[in-house]
Amino acid sequence: FAAPLVRTICSPTAEMAIKVEFPEGYALCFVPLALSWIMNYFLTIQVIRGRKKYDVQYPNLYAPHGHKDGEKFNCIQRAHQNTLESWPMVMVTMFAVGLVYPVCAALAGFAWVAGRFVYGFGYALGNPNFRMPGGLLSHVGDFPLIGMAMRIAYNVVMDPDNVKLMKGFAKTHAGLEL
């Protein structure tokens, strides 16, 4: 069973320790993270198999123009590439918003990962339209993460203490009176 996510950071030469606490349920965010690695390996294996099946050689990222099975292979490769384009930002956003909404962030991360499995499987069938169900399921995950991040940012900007801090910074460093 996992240990609670409370850590005390202290170096041998430090005069004081720093206690770092994470909200209850934050560890759930590690489940979609771990599953996302399995999802990435699944997509990678699909590309490797596609290279062999459709005879697309390295260093070509995609099938060369005019390749007889180019569209079929490119669908497989595109599913992987498209996932790689969003994977880091989705996971970073999940962990960031998980500090405020841990369970919702983990569930949204799980929906995104599940969607990417479906997306990759559907796209690999060789018809770009078959990616749509997985794409929609992925957005059931990433859109809520974006919404939660925006809500957190809005609350931070509208907080009176932060407004005072920003005004003080503007006055001190830019000579602006806001």
Q: In 18-177, which ranges are continuous DSSP H helix?
A: 30-54, 70-98, 102-123, 132-158, 160-174
| pLDDT tens column, 69-106 | 999 999 999 999 999 999 999 999 999 999 999 999 99
**pLDDT exceeds 80 at position 9:** no
- Which two structure tokens, joined as six digits, stand for 143? 């859109």
Rounded to an integer, the average pLDDT of 111-120 is 98
∠30-130-120 over CA atoms, to 5°?
30
Q: How do residues 20-35 score in pLDDT, each as one tens digit?
A: 889 999 999 999 999 9
Cβ-proximal residues to 75 (8 Å cutoff; 6+ apart), any chain: 123, 124, 125, 126, 127, 128, 131
* Contact of 71 with 149, CB cutoff 8 Å: no
pLDDT, position 14: 63
